[in-house]
Every structure is written in C-alpha cells, then in structure tokens.
C-alpha cells in the first residue's frame, strides 16, 4: 500500500552509533562510512580486525563495530602483517594518514606491499599533520604553508611531496592500488567502488590492496570546508592524480 | 629422549617450537642469526609462521599484531636489535599481550662489538621502552637451562599476559652442550584466551587491543593493574640457584649467566686453596630474588658480597639495594665483549680478602 | 681424569670445528659432561678458527679456557698462538705437514703428526681433522676410540667412501701417537 515504509538508508552495522571527535568538514566520517558499508555488503564485519594508526583517526576503534588493534605510529602494516600471517582466514585492514604512512611508517608500508601481504590499507592523504596541529607532512605541496613550513614548503630543503600510490605501484609484487577522492558525491561513489574492490581482493586472498583517499583538513589548512574542497580540486588533485595505479592482473613482465 | 649436542641458538629455537612457539618474526644480527637460520628450515615442517622482516622495528610490531591473535609468538635478536624493538615492547606490555623475546647480548653501547656481554641488564629489567612497565626476565647459564627456560617463558608469558625476555650473553648462543628435550611439553593449566584474543566480533561484543588511555585516571588505573601483576610475579616467579653456600663462606658472589659458571670454577679452585666462597645465581632477573638473596647476605659468616658481571656494573645496583648497607657490596667486571677468565676473578677475590683482612681499610659499604 | 680441555685450531676449511664436535659427540656417548666453545666474531673471517672442547666427569663451570691441557694445531698461525698456552704437563699436537717448527718447551708433550700427508695418502685431504683427532685420542685416551668410530659412522654413514677414508686415518694416527709416546719421542 502507499503508506508502507521501507528502509532505504541506515547506519552500517559495522559502525557504532557514537559521536566522532572529528572537526566540522573533515572527510574521515565519509571514509569511515565507505569502509563500513563495504564490510557490511561483503559480510566481513565479524571476521575483520582493523588496525588504528596514530593521528586524527587514532580513536577509529571507538567508531567501528569490529575488533581493533591500536598500533604505534606508522607501524600498522607491521601489526597487520603479524596478525594476518597467523590468521589468514580473517580480514585485516589498516587506516592511516599521510604522516603515519608516508613519513614514519614508510618502511613498514613499502615492505608490507612488497611482500604482498593480503591486507587492505586505507590511506587518507590530506597533505598535513592533523592531530599534532598542522605541521608539514611528506605529502605537503610545494609552497604550502604549515606550522613547520611557515614560508611554504621549500623543496630545496624538504624535497618534493611523495606520491605514495605511484611509488608503491613500481613494486613488482601484484597489488591493487587506486587513488580516489571524496570531495563530491560522484567521487564518493567512485571511492566506495575502490574500497569495496580492495576488500573483495583481500577476501579472495588475491593481493595487497591500498586505496589512497585524497582528503581535506579545513582546520589546519585554515579554510572553510567549501574552500577546502575547492583547494583540493585546484591544487591537490593536480599533483595527486586520481586513478588506478595497480591491478593484480597486470603481472609485470619478468 | 637421548641427549644431543646443540648450539645454544639452535637449542633455544627447537625449545620454542616444542613449547608451541610456532610463530616467529626476525631480522638477522650477530651473534644469534643461527636461530633464524634454524627456524627457516624447521618452521615449515611444523606448519608455523616464519617471517624475516625489514627491520627490528617491524619485527617488534609484527609480534604485537601476531600476539593479539592469542597464538604463541616470539622473536630473537641481539642488543642493538633489541633496542629497536623497545617501542613495540612497551606497547605490548601496555596492551597486556604475551610474547617471548630472546636477547643474545653483545657489547655496547652503540654498534659496540659482537662478542659476549651482559650490559643490557638495565634495559631488560628496568624498562627499556617508555612508561610504567616491566618484563619478566630470565637468564640461563647452560644450554640445557636455556632450553628449559625458553619453554617456561612461553608459559609465564601466557600466565601473566606479559612479554617475557630471556637474556644470555653471546656464549649462550654460540657454545654447544648436550641437551635433552622433554618427550612432551607439559605445563600447568593456563587461563583461556577467549576473553581477550582478537578473533572477529562474531556473536560477541567487539574487542579492542590497545595501550591508549587518554583519560589520565584510566591510565593510572591501568598501570596499577599492571603493577599488581608484577607483584604477583615477585611472589611466585623469583628463581635462583646457590652453589657451595656454607657457613664457612667468607665471601658471597652474586653472578648470573655464563659469568656465574666462570665463578663456579673460581669457587672450586679457591676451595682447593682453602678459601671458602659461595655463589648466589639469580635465574630470574625480574623479579629479582630479593628475599632469598637478602637471607644469604645477612648470614653472619658472610663478610663481603661480590657482584661479578660482564658489564661496567648493572646488576650490582640491585644487589646493593638488597644488601641495604648490611654488608659491603663490591663489584668486578669486564666489558666490551671481554669475558673475564677464572684466573682474573680469582685474583680479584684474593686481593679483596687481603684488603678486608687489613683492619684499617675495612669499609662498611662500597664497590 | 675429572676434566680435560683441548683446543683445535687451524684455518677455515681444515675442519677444526668439526673435529671438536666429533670429540664432543663421543664424550656424550660416554656419558660425560661436554661443552664445545667456538671462536666467533672477526676471527671467523680468515686467520685462525678454533674451538675448545671441555670433557668432564663433573658439572662444567667456566666455558672460558685460557690454558687448555691439550692443543691440536693445524697451521702455523695456530701454532704461534696456542703452543705457549698449553698448560704445563699438557699436550701439543702439531700438524708437521704444514708447520716446520717445534717449541722450546720441555714442560709439555709435543707430538708431530704429518696430518696432511696421512690424509692425502688415504685419499682426501679433507680427512686432516680426523687424523688430528685420532692422534689426540691416541695420546690421551680421553675418550674411547671405538666410540669415536661409532660417531664417525653415524655422521658419515651416508658417504661410504669418505667414511672409509676417515676410519682408516683415525686408526693410523691413533696408533702413530701411541707409538711416538711409547718411544718417548719429540721428533
């Protein structure tokens, strides 16, 4: 009948009903939801262990409704490796920011990817250290002002920003690596597709998977959320090109 | 089972397997690389996990992740490598997970050398990493004891949900002695792991393994809980051995590991020269066998306590604490990878006795 | 004998470590306490490699032996390093094929064993370590030579030709040492 109600949108089972501590305009909330939806849809929640980073998303374990480990700064891929090797039947994902993954955790991520660990890495890149208050990250753009690069990032001293997806895609070991963004509904749909694909590959025991989500930080960028989105489109996406960087099927020539 | 001749490093590796330590993460470093080489062959035979990581930093964190599964996990390394693992050791202790670590100590600080030393006593027993935590620390002096303590380490680690570290100097890793493995490793019943291991939130509430407590009160409560465990360890796990302790002893030696064996030889030789010396050998360095050592130190016949170490003097601080001024505590040691010969230890003791006999020089306390 | 210590020293490839291990295995067969201690560290790379074996009826204390009762030296640098360290009353076995020297010491027994020559004549220079081991057991009887043979057979049973060569030289050098001792020789 006409007045029969159907649920068409609800909170994913993989997310808890709690208030997050994220700043207004932060995209962590969207990305959390995309991960949670993927776990729900693939029915993986009750055999999943997440590994929390150090950074803004350190308290992610409070927001997800699955088992969680909390890692030292940058070491999430090592913890994930240890756990997954002992429990290959389970699903393991890390959730890391750019300071965590591309700076202090550079060694761990490169080697986990190179060993082809069957884990999924959600890499949130907003070109700045958020939790510690807006310092320069390895992904900070040239000239970008941060609290530790008050005159803008000087590439002569700090080098150029590191493009993690491109870097990891040079490894010969098969992997799935895609860079996405969540700054528009259309991009969110694409991001969801990538995240779900990453977990699918893991559940098929196929390969290491990493989804880089180019993201904003209105608070530490010192912009409104809408200006942040604009800045992301104009600047970040010009340097961090969205797209597919590695598929397990493109076996490298020997 | 018949006795077989094994190198310390290999015997420890085999002992771990037989205690169910089937999950091993490592990074090569002299003088313990034979453990990894041995397990690279053996682990596939028992269907366990063997992984050579990119660094000791990664090893420690793999151990952390793996331990959260509830299965028995371990690693082995030597001094500089153990330093790199301190980050994860602190986290593992904070998150109350079990794991076993072996440190085949070499001379330091820094890159130091690769020859035997006991200069990581402070690091092992007083923390090493940051925060209020302790490891349970065991120190074997023979290869058979290394086997027995390795197996025990897994048990104690599960019992207290705390990392257990075995420390041995380079000699323990490198020398060969006959060892016997128990046919079957029998251990006391342990509490189950069902209430903390991460297994997936199926038909139960989700679980979090963490060491983060942003609320200071919560962190303080957590640390009090940790210290309750350490108190229990002190009550139950103090281990030591006495050698030729008698009412005739003028001097009491306190020494552990290989150094204690060298002191045994010294004691035998001095005995034949009519000088009576006893040995107190701590086997658990944390908990330090304080009560038991105190009892020996207070015996009337004991004039001086001599601590002998392959270091500049680390355990001696615990011995001084136990003696608490009741008897003079002296120290003899060599460092940098030099193992004192029985002769030089003996000369040191004789000189000490000569000095003690001279009334003018009598001191109440001092090294 | 309550305790005997012997050092085997030579250069890499002469099998000094294995000689010590064979002696250790034999000690275990005889229900003795045994420790085998290698030199390790920079010394492993070139120069002299050596190991010391302690065989004892009692619990073994120090594994650090500065002055062993016996030394089997396989090359000149080892001769230089260890001939002075043997305890007075002890034994020095010199591989005379490679070491054209003897000591001036009168407080030890010094036997010259042409170990390389014996090994090569038997068919493999690799057996040089077993030649020295046989001579050592012949001179000291620290362990039963029959048990050394049993150990060799266990360890080399899968390589019949090498086993035969080793058993042959073991016998030969064992007897040679006995002969030299009987003649009170310092050759």
User: pLDDT tens for residues B4-58?
Assistant: 999 999 999 999 999 999 999 999 998 999 999 999 999 999 999 999 999 999 9
Residue spans of alpha helices (H) in A64-163: 76-86, 98, 106-115, 155-158
Comparing CB atoms, the residue among B4, B261, B340 nearest residue C63 is: B261
Decide if C41 and B262 are in contact by the 8 Å CB cutoff: no
- Please give the interface size between A and B, counted as residue pairs whose CB atoms are below 8 Å apart: 127
Distance of CA B343 to the CA centre of its chain: 26
Comparing CB atoms, the residue among A51, A67, A87 nearest residue B206 is: A67
Within a domain: residue C187?
Answer: no
> Within this chain, do residues B49 and B122 fall inside the same structural domain, yes or no?
yes
Report pLDDT for A1. 56
Decide if B197 touches A, using CB distance below 8 A: no
Q: Which residue of B has its CA nearest to A76?
A: B61
Tell me the residue range of the domain where A52 lies.
28-151+160-246
Decide if B177 touches C, using CB distance below 8 A: yes
Comparing CB atoms, the residue among B64, B88, B207 nearest residue A67 is: B207
Residue B363 has pLDDT above 50, yes or no: no
Q: Which helix (H) or strand (E) covers residue A97, if one does? A: strand A91-97
Q: Which residue of A has its CA nearest to B210?
A: A70
Q: How many whole angstroms separate alpha carbon C35 and alpha carbon C32? A: 10
Q: What is the pLDDT of residues A36-81, one digit of tens each?
A: 999 999 999 999 999 999 999 999 999 999 999 999 999 999 999 9
Q: Give C130: exposed, middle or buried? Use CB within 10 Å, 0-12, 13-18, 19+.
A: buried
Q: What is the CATH number for B217?
A: 3.40.50.970
> Within this chain, do residues B219 and B88 fall inside the same structural domain, yes or no?
yes
Q: What is the pLDDT of residues B203-244, one digit of tens each?
A: 999 999 999 999 999 999 999 999 999 999 999 999 999 999
Decide if B242 touches C, using CB distance below 8 A: no
Report pLDDT for B126. 95
Decide if B265 and C66 are in contact by the 8 Å CB cutoff: no
Decide if B206 and A111 are in contact by the 8 Å CB cutoff: no
Residue A250 has pLDDT above 70, yes or no: no
Chain C: nearest CA to B169, how far in angstroms?
12
Give CA angle at B19 (B164, B53), nearest 5°. Answer: 65
Q: Which residue of C has its CA nearest to B259?
A: C62
Q: How confident is the model at residue B365 (pLDDT cuts 50, 70, 90)?
A: very low
Q: What is the pLDDT of residues B313-342, one digit of tens each?
A: 999 999 999 999 999 999 999 999 999 999
Q: What is the pLDDT of residues A126-178, one digit of tens each?
A: 999 999 999 999 999 999 999 999 999 999 999 999 999 999 999 999 999 99
Decide if A78 and B58 are in contact by the 8 Å CB cutoff: yes
> Within this chain, do residues B255 and B224 fall inside the same structural domain, yes or no?
no
Residue A111 has pLDDT above 60, yes or no: yes
Chain C residues inside the 8 Å CB shell of B177? 34-36
Within a domain: residue A242?
Answer: yes
Q: Which helix (H) or strand (E) covers residue C92, if one does? A: strand C91-95
Chain C residues inside the 8 Å CB shell of B264? 59, 61-62
Interface test with B, best of A45, A64, A67, A111 (most B CBs within 10 A): A67
Report pLDDT for C1. 54
Q: Which of residues 265-304 of B touch C (CB under 8 A)?
A: 265-268
Q: What is the CATH number for B299?
A: 3.40.50.920
Q: How confident is the model at residue A249 (pLDDT cuts 50, 70, 90)?
A: confident
Give CA angle at C47 (C43, C48), nearest 5°. Answer: 75
Contact between B104 and B168 (Cβ < 8 Å):
yes
Give CA angle at B52 (B48, B57), nearest 5°. Answer: 115
Number of domains into which chain A is organized = 1
Which residues fall within 8 angstroms of residue A156, CB to CB, at 6 or more apart? Answer: none
Task: Please indicate whether residue A8 or residue B48 has the higher confidence score (pLDDT).
Answer: B48
Residue A252 has pLDDT above 60, yes or no: no
Within a domain: residue A127?
Answer: yes
Residue B364 has pLDDT above 50, yes or no: no
pTM: 0.92
> Within this chain, do residues B228 and B317 fall inside the same structural domain, yes or no?
no
Residue A244 has pLDDT above 90, yes or no: yes
Decide if B171 touches C, using CB distance below 8 A: yes
Q: Give A3: exposed, middle or buried? Use CB within 10 Å, 0-12, 13-18, 19+.
A: exposed
> Within this chain, do residues B348 and B229 fall inside the same structural domain, yes or no?
no
Q: What is the CATH number for A192?
A: 3.40.50.970
Chain A: nearest CA to B363, how far in angstroms?
50
Q: Give A233: exposed, middle or buried? Use CB within 10 Å, 0-12, 13-18, 19+.
A: middle
Number of domains into which chain C is organized = 1
pLDDT by 10s per residue, chain C, length 187: 589 999 999 988 899 999 999 999 999 999 999 999 998 655 455 567 899 999 999 999 999 898 999 999 999 999 999 999 999 999 999 999 999 999 999 999 999 999 999 999 999 999 999 999 999 999 999 999 999 999 999 999 889 999 999 999 999 999 999 999 998 755 4
Tell me the residue range of the domain where B287 lies.
243-361
Task: Give backbone dihedrals phi and psi of A125, rounded to 5 degrees, phi first.
Answer: -110, 110
> What three-state secondary structure class fits B174?
helix
Share of chain B above pLDDT 70, in %: 97
Decide if C59 and B264 are in contact by the 8 Å CB cutoff: yes
Number of domains into which chain B is organized = 2
Chain A: nearest CA to B191, how far in angstroms?
21
Average pLDDT of the residues of chain B: 95
Within a domain: residue A226?
Answer: yes
Nearest CA-CA partner of B265 in C50, B255, C143: B255
Within a domain: residue C165?
Answer: yes
Within a domain: residue A236?
Answer: yes
Of A190-194, B284-288, C39-43, C141-145, least confident by mean pLDDT is: C39-43
Distance of CA B235 to the CA centre of its chain: 18
């Amino acid at each position: 009948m006409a007045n029969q109600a159907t649920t068409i949108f609800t909170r994913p089972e993989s997310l808890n009903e709690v208030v997050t501590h994220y700043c207004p305009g932060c995209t962590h909330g969207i990305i959390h939801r995309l991960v949670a939806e993927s776990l729900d849809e693939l029915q993986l929640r009750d055999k999943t262990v997440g590994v929390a980073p150090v950074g803004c998303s350190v308290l992610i374990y409070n927001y997800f409704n699955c088992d969680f480990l909390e890692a030292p700064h940058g070491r999430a891929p090592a913890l994930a490796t240890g756990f997954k090797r002992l429990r290959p039947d389970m699903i393991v994902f890390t959730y890391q920011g750019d300071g965590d993954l591309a700076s202090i955790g550079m060694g761990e991520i490169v080697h986990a990817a190179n060993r082809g660990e069957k884990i999924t890495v959600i890499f949130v890149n907003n070109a700045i250290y958020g939790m510690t208050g807006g310092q320069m990250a390895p992904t900070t753009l040239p000239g970008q002002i941060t609290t530790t690069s008050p005159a803008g990032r000087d590439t002569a001293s700090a080098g150029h920003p590191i493009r993690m997806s491109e870097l990891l895609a040079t490894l010969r070991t098969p992997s799935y690596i895609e860079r996405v963004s969540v700054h528009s509904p259309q991009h969110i749909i694409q991001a969801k597709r990538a995240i779900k694909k990453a977990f699918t590959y893991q559940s098929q025991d196929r390969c290491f998977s990493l989804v880089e989500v180019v993201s904003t930080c209105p608070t530490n960028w010192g912009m409104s959320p809408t200006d942040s989105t604009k800045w992301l489109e104009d600047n970040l996406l010009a340097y961090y090109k969205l797209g597919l960087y590695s598929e397990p099927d493109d076996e490298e020539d020997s | 089972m018949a006795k077989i001749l094994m190198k310390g490093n290999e015997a420890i590796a085999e002992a771990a397997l037989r205690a169910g330590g089937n999950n091993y993460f490592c990074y090569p470093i002299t003088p313990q690389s034979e453990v990894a080489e041995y397990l690279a062959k053996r682990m596939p035979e028992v269907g366990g996990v063997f992984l050579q990581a990119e660094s000791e930093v990664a090893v420690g964190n793999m151990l952390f992740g793996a331990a959260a599964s509830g299965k028995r996990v371990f690693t082995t390394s030597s001094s500089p490598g153990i330093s790199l693992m301190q980050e994860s050791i602190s986290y593992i202790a904070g998150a109350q997970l079990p794991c076993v670590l072996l440190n085949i100590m070499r001379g330091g600080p820094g890159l130091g050398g690769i020859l035997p030393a006991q200069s990581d006593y402070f690091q092992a027993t007083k923390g090493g990493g940051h925060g209020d935590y302790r490891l349970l620390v065991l120190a074997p002096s023979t290869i058979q004891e290394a086997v027995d303590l390795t197996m025990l380490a897994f048990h104690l680690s599960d019992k207290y949900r705390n990392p257990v570290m075995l420390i041995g100097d380079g000699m323990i890793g490198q020398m060969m002695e006959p060892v016997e493995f128990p046919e079957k490793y029998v251990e006391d019943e342990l509490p189950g792991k069902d209430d903390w291991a991460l297994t997936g939130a199926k038909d139960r509430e989700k679980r979090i393994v963490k060491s983060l407590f942003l609320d200071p009160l919560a962190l303080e409560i957590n640390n009090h809980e940790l210290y309750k465990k350490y108190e229990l360890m002190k009550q139950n796990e103090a281990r030591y051995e006495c050698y030729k302790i008698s009412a005739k002893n003028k001097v009491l030696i306190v020494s552990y590991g290989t150094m204690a064996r060298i002191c045994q030889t010294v004691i035998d030789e001095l005995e034949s020269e009519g000088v009576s010396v006893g040995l107190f050998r701590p086997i658990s360095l944390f908990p330090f066998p304080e009560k038991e050592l105190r009892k020996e130190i207070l015996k009337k016949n004991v004039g001086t306590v001599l601590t002998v170490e392959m270091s500049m003097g680390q355990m001696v601080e615990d011995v001084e604490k136990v003696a608490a001024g009741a008897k003079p505590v002296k120290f003899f040691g060599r460092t940098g990878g030099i193992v004192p010969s029985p002769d030089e230890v003996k000369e040191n003791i004789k000189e000490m006795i000569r000095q003690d006999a001279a009334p003018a020089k009598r001191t109440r306390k001092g090294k | 004998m309550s305790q005997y210590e012997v050092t085997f020293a030579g250069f890499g490839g002469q099998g000094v470590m294995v000689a010590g291990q064979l002696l250790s295995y034999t000690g275990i067969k005889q229900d003795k306490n045994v420790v085998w201690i290698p030199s390790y560290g920079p010394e492993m790379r070139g120069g002299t490699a050596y190991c010391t074996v302690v065989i004892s009826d009692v619990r073994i204390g120090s594994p650090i032996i500065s002055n062993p009762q016996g030394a089997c030296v396989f090359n000149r640098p080892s001769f230089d390093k260890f001939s002075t360290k043997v305890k007075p009353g002890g034994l020095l076995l010199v591989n005379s094929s490679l070491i054209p020297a003897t000591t001036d010491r009168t407080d030890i027994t010094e036997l010259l064993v042409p170990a390389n020559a014996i090994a090569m004549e038997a068919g493999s220079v690799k057996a040089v370590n077993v030649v020295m081991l046989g001579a050592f057991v012949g001179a000291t009887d620290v362990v039963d030579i029959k048990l050394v043979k049993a150990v060799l057979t266990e360890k080399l049973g899968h390589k019949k030709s090498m086993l035969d060569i080793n058993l042959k030289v073991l016998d030969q050098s064992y007897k040679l040492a006995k002969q030299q001792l009987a003649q009170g020789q310092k050759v």
